[in-house]
Amino acid sequence: MPPRQTLLASGTQSKMSRPDLPQLVALFAQECRIAFRGATFWSLAAASALVAAWRAATPGTTSAIAAYRAAEVILLGLGVLAIFLAAASAARDRRQRAAELVLAKPQGSSPSLVLLRFAAVWVSLAVISAIALAATSLAQISVSGTAWHPYPYAHALARTLLPVGLAAALGFSLSTIFTTSLASAVAAIYWVIIPLTRPHVATVFDLTLSQHWPFAALLTALLMLLTAAFYARPIRDRGPATAHLGWAVALLLLAASVAAYSVATNGADALLDPDPILSAIAAQSCLADPRAPGFWLPDAHGRLIALSDHTNRPIVLTFWGPAVGESARSLILIRNLAAESRSLGFARIAVCVDRDRAAMQPFIGDAGSDTVMLWDRGRHFGDGTYAGDSPAAVAYDVGELPTTFILDRERRVTGRIIGDASPDRVRAEVTRAIGR
């Protein structure tokens, strides 16, 4: 037998080489071609575009609101589909019986192939998101009658990339490691259940929140590195999925420990870093509603709460400021009134008007746990101009803090109390609102 050096130098083998950048680029282009071709990609793109556009096609919807609603569709709907799409991509060789052809090639089981495949899926999901946002944009221009602005759409695309990428990584890695779609289905159920039960779950569990982007990026990287390492093993010796359950359980326990630590050190729900863009987008709906100005405002934890979440009952809406002494008294008074007069059945929303969101934290106890505490501090991007720090307060024409509004079941303003509110006055206004 000739020595190895001779073998490598002989014949055509010398033309082959280690993967270089042009080869990786060519391979990535091929992976993208595979991801983009076929009915699945276009069906998903069409469905996402239709749903997103339908949610934006309402008169008065601004670019910011339309983009925010499209982002919701992408994060929830496309996020779930991304899990299955990526799982299908990871199982492609198995499904098409091409695994042995691929794995017998020098680069067939290389980590770079796994990462390129995942990147191609991610790119295809980003393109679907862009198509959905473009459709939303068209719907807004043609139906809403409001000024179109590109910034909210660009922002919506940017803030969906990581969570959707994380969803894809979950599907890709679970499908590769467990070789069953059942694991992806569990991830998909989790992906839907947690955001839908958002008010009752600590935000640390909600992977769709764009505020979690460092965590999402870290988790995505970890999952893909694990998958790449796993993929490099010979195909027939990977053993049954149960052999890896130990690792999965260990990882889950680790994640649960991190979550438990987070809850223990930060309370039930950790304060998230404020996302000023999110607040700005949310506050745009002040301009979109013909009745009492509607809004989406972030609570103390960065979750967006809509006024329209509280329908079919009167609302006592208090604008207050931590620096104004009477504010705290009003909050306590309304809390006591709600406790005494449960039959009135009104909802309490307290909107803090202040630059520092953390300043409202000490007053949460005063307002009572049933009071929805929101933060009205944003910038106005609806028509592209700067319009003030507290758009909800501006929309309600609040000149003085505290100011309490009484809204009836149809969200019409039936009463307005400026300054310190007396229990009798509030009770009378609420009774009047119910009576209408």
Partner 1 sequence: MQVEITGLRKVYPGGVVALKGLDLTIPPGIFGLLGPNGSGKTTLMRILATLLEPTAGNARVGGYDVRTEKASVRELLGYLPEEFGFYPNLTAYEMLDYLALLGRINDPKERQARIEQSLHRVDLDQVTGRRVGTFSSGMKRRLGIAQAILNNPRVLILDEPASGLDPEGRVRLRDLLAELAGDRVVILSTHIVNEVASIAQRLAILRRGQCLFRGRLSDLLEPLKGTTWIIDINEDELSRVRQDFEVTGVFRSATGMQVRVLANAMSHPRGHATEPTLDDAYVALMNRDAAQTDPPCERDAEQDEPA
CA distances from 347 to 41, 210, 372, 375 (A): 44, 29, 8, 17
What whole-number distance in Å separates Cα of residue 38 and Cα of residue 23?
24
Q: Are 427 and 341 in contact (CB under 8 A)?
A: yes
- Closer residue to partner 1 (CB): 3 or 435: 3
- Closer residue to partner 1 (CB): 235 or 263: 235
The contact pattern for partner 1, residues 397-436, with x = CB under 8 A and - = no contact, is ----------------------------------------
How many residues of this chain bind partner 1 (CB under 8 A)? 44
Evaluate the omega torsion of the peptide bond into residue 402 and state whether it is cis, within 30 degrees of 0: yes
Q: Are 113 and 28 in contact (CB under 8 A)?
A: no
Beta strands 372-375 and 403-407, pairing class: unpaired
Stretch that binds partner 1, among 23-31, 120-128, 347-355, 376-384 (CB under 8 A): 23-31
Stretch that binds partner 1, among 24-32, 311-319, 329-337, 362-370 (CB under 8 A): 24-32
- Closer residue to partner 1 (CB): 240 or 362: 240
Q: Does 111 bind partner 1 (CB under 8 A)?
A: no
Q: Does 105 bind partner 1 (CB under 8 A)?
A: yes
Beta strands 347-352 and 413-418, pairing class: unpaired
Q: Does 108 bind partner 1 (CB under 8 A)?
A: yes
Percent helix, strand, coil in the chain, to 5, is 65, 10, 30
What interhelical angle do 63-73 and 276-283 show, nearest 10? Answer: 110
- Closest approach of partner 1 to the CB of residue 361, in Å: 55
Reference 43, options 85, 89, 71; nearest CA is 85
What whole-number distance in Å separates Cα of residue 381 and Cα of residue 391?
10
Q: Does 12 bind partner 1 (CB under 8 A)?
A: yes
Q: Does 355 bind partner 1 (CB under 8 A)?
A: no
Stretch that binds partner 1, among 234-242, 333-341, 342-350, 376-384 (CB under 8 A): 234-242
Residue among 119, 138, 235, 332 that touches partner 1 (CB under 8 A): 235
Interface contacts to partner 1, rule CB under 8 A? 1-4, 7, 11-13, 15-20, 22-23, 26-27, 30, 33-34, 37-38, 92, 96-98, 100-109, 113, 234-237, 239-240
